[in-house]
A and B are shown apart, each in its own frame.
Chain A
Amino acid sequence: MKLLRRRLLASLPTLFAVITITFIIVRAAPGGPFRDEKAVPEAVRANIEARYGLDEPLAVQYVKFWRNLLTGSLGPSFQHPERSALGVLVGGAVPSLILGVAAALVALLLGLGGGTLAALRPRTSPPVSAVALIALAIPVFVLGPLLIRLFALELGWLPAALWGSPRHLVLPALTLGLPVGGALVRFWRTVLTESLDAPECIAARARGLTDLEVVRLHAAPRSLPLLLNYMAPMIAALVTGSVVVEKIFAVPGMGRYFVDSALARDYPIVIGATLIYAVALLVVHTMADLAHARLDPRLHREHNR
């Protein structure tokens, strides 16, 4: 599809920029990798730097980095030298993706459900908004411990942390999804309320459609472009939140060691992780655009012609 190709082409400069900016930022940072609490003699450090090519001029390293990248390699991770950085990242990306999707579902379910309810039944709007506001105003790193305290330690219904089964997914997904869901409630309520006042929705009412039919057939399609636009910041919020949530719940994802890798100057991991985040966000953007094009026949037909 032409649109897809165009989006992909357009995203290449973005990726190039992300990689280059990240490369510059991490390499401009003071200090280097392989510095432990105990300093090692000069000879030992020289050996390490030679081994990882860190003794070469920065420009050469940059070129080599690109050459590696184009052959699908990021080199070894500095913190885990026996493993390739790409392997580390892919291993971490899978749980992160699962958690992210689960949290997005939580957010969408609560956000769209709550928003629709509040828009259709103005009387429910204050309590729904109140809950949404609270979800918004509690930082994830406070919400997480509170949920653990209640559901894992007091009630014993769910595991306090760790990974491996659907039950382990519940609390982290809630922690990550609730604040985003809260924001979505408020957004969707506003959007839908405006849409419901639109002429086509009033007309649909007059045709005798029920509340939900009006939303499903008219108000929601009308609001869809706005919702799709909202997805990108939403996903960005999830990605950022996962950095903390994965740590609190010991999820073996990539958000968890992003900060640690930066502190340890694990260059391949930091650049690779940033790259993966950028790709993920671009994919969401592109998917949103494609979905929009598909769902809106005006764009759809234009492209087929």
Chain B
Amino acid sequence: MSPSGAGSSGITPLNALLLIIVIGGAVAAVFGPQLLPSQLAGGIEPLALPPGAGHLLGTDSLGRDMLARLLEGMRTTLFVGLAATLLALVIGTLYGAAAGLAGPRADETMMRGVDVALALPFMILVILLVSLFGRSMLLLFIALGLVAWLPLARVARAGVHNLREEPYLEAARMMGGSRGYVLRAHLFPQLGAPLAVYATWMLPVVMMQEAFLSFLGLGVAPPRASWGTLIADGVARIETAPWILLSAGGSLALWLIALHLAGERLARRLNVHRTTGALERTTAAGEPDGGEATA
């Protein structure tokens, strides 16, 4: 509630810019590849050309137009990111809501399970899975999604816990609404805001993980490109063809920053606090964090 932050939830130039970057990037990624061929046609020499008249962003090491490759890479990464985030949202919400609605004992057990799973070196297992079973987009987003749902389960559970106190829920139940009905009609709509905000926090993380796997040579398989494989290619040619890294890395950074800021504004607008609920965890002694000071 700083004075400067007070007015920023409206449509300011910055907010408009953020929206343009986030949505524009996504739209370009979806429709761009239709307009520009990104695959190799015969007769092209494998030569990385600097940006120029024929190729706005230059060409990659096989002589393909970098802009076309970039748009295709963005599409792949966004698809993997969104699919993984969606998967995480579905699993996380269902699991978290189930835990939140279950009795205290089941709840405790289920959340302890999440704690245990969080203690697993999950990213390491993902690296292992992808390196052992080959590189496919399906495996990639499933693996990433399976890592990402855990914190979401906490958000969902915390949300349910908060909502459970609401009188209208009690009323709905008293009036004979089934558990499923209560969930559908009241809980999920209420959880929408925090989960939407969380998705904007999660998407960049998943996208970075995709890029990370790509650098290890575990990203999507060619001839498909992803933001990550392009950046990895750019890093390998950082000395002789810096434009590859510049356009791929720069665009990813720009898009991620815009997404972060947009997510922050969305959170402020929807009045979702990052710290409440999301990271709440029952501690070892079973005390909720930051409770009342009175005994």
Contacts and interface: CB of A to CB of B under 8 A. Distances in A.
A21 B231 CA distance: 32
Contacts of A151: none
Given A142-B231, A230-B279, A302 B285 contact: yes
A262 B128 contact: yes
B215 A244 contact: yes
Q: How large is the interface on A (under 10, 10 to 19, 20 to 34, 35 or more residues)?
A: 35 or more
Contact of B127 (A29, A140, A187, A258): A258
A197 to B, nearest CB: 7
Nearest to B274: A190
A14 B116 contact: yes
Given A258-B127, A270-B128, A236 B260 contact: no
Contacts of A273: 124
Contacts of A229: 279, 281, 289
A168 interface: no
B182 interface: no
Contact of A25 (B4, B128, B249, B257): B128
A292 B283 contact: yes
Interface in B107-157: 112, 115-116, 118-125, 127-129, 131-133, 151
A258 B124 contact: yes
A186 B218 CA distance: 30
- Chief secondary structure at chain A's binding surface: helix
A159 to B, nearest CB: 19
Given A139-B215, A225-B290, A299-B285, A239 B253 contact: no
Contacts of A236: 121-123
Interface stretch (A46-54, A85-93, A99-107, A274-282): A274-282
Nearest to A138: B253
A272 B119 CA distance: 16
B235 A278 contact: no
A277 B124 contact: yes
Interface of A: 3, 6-7, 10-11, 13-14, 17-18, 21-22, 25-26, 28-30, 122, 125, 133-134, 136-142, 145, 149, 186-187, 190-191, 193-194, 197, 200, 222-223, 225-226, 229-230, 232-233, 236, 239-241, 243-244, 258-259, 262-263, 270, 273-274, 277-278, 280-282, 285, 289, 292-293, 296, 298-299, 302-303
Given A194-B273, A258-B124, 8 more contacts: A6-B284, A14-B119, A18-B120, A133-B260, A141-B212, A226-B289, A259-B127, A289-B283
